[in-house]
Amino acid sequence: MTETETKNLPPKAKVPVRSGDKIVEKVASVEYAAMPSCPANNDPDGDEVWCDSSQNACKGVKNAEGPLSRIFMRATKPKTPPQPWKLTKMLTCWPTEIPGGKPKLTVAMINSEFVKTPFARPQVKMEPVGNRTLANLPNFFMADFSGKGYGPGEVRDLTLLGHSVRVRPTLKSNTFHFGDGSSLGPTESRGGGYPDGDIKHAYLKRGTVSASVTTVYGGQFAVDGGEFTDLPGTATITGPAQPIQVLEAKGRLVR
């Protein structure tokens, strides 16, 4: 179903209605419920279960909040005893748009919380150590995420609309800024030390420069103990600048 079709579900439909000890089909005023379309066969009267397949089904659908959901309906009168739910053949990627629908957990909600994550600011480190080096000497750089905040792979636990949600930042890319007008990246590398590090730079003249790293974080989420699934959003974080003193070595003849 399209978003418009979901919003405009009819106020009346043919549904099962309890009449005494019997259940009969009749046209009645109805209410709707949407549940994620998962192998667990979600039921509006039970716990809502999320799964990767329902979320992935709505990827690439423009403006879709997801997850792909089955639509149920039931008669609104009489309310006592409660009327049985009828599972329809209708599926939608806009479960919050059904008429009279209750607030539902969506990927948009999770993504909104993801971008508020206190991400670890990448610290640029260099070898030789001590933030001092010589002109024309190859230096090895690396991005360090051991400071405060959530770095790549670290899990943040949330509760949203009664669901247990885990959010996990991922590393999309690093861009190393060397402070002399040059940079390297974006790259998926974190760099490393001598001799195997792949982020190297040599300064050509003496002076003091400020180096830093800009990291683009992606994200993943898992709901109610399910598997992690990619989030659509990213967050860009630039770490603090590190001053580096570049010296010149002069040769001297010694007898």
The model's confidence at residue 255, banded by pLDDT at 50, 70 and 90, is low
- Model confidence at 254, pLDDT cuts 50, 70, 90, reads low
Among candidates 197, 6, 2, which has minimal Cα distance to 96? 6
pLDDT in tens, 97-110: 999 877 778 888 89
- What CA dihedral angle connects 56, 60, 65 and 69, to 10 degrees? -50
- pTM (2 decimals)? 0.74
What value does the mean pLDDT of the chain take?
90
The pLDDT value given to residue 106 = 83
pLDDT at 22 over 90: no
| Tens-digit pLDDT profile for residues 179-195 | 999 999 999 999 999 99
Considering 99-108, 206-215, 228-237, the range whose residues carry the highest mean pLDDT is 206-215
CA atoms within 13 A on the CB side of 31: 13
Contacts of 200 (CB under 8 A, 6+ apart): 138, 139, 140, 141
Of these ranges, 91-95, 99-103, 213-217, the one predicted with the greatest mean pLDDT is 213-217
Q: Which of 23, 24, 46, 19 is nearest to 35 (CA)?
A: 46
Listed residue (89, 102, 31, 97) closest to 65, CA to CA: 97
**pLDDT value at residue 52:** 78
d(CA 121, CA 168): 15
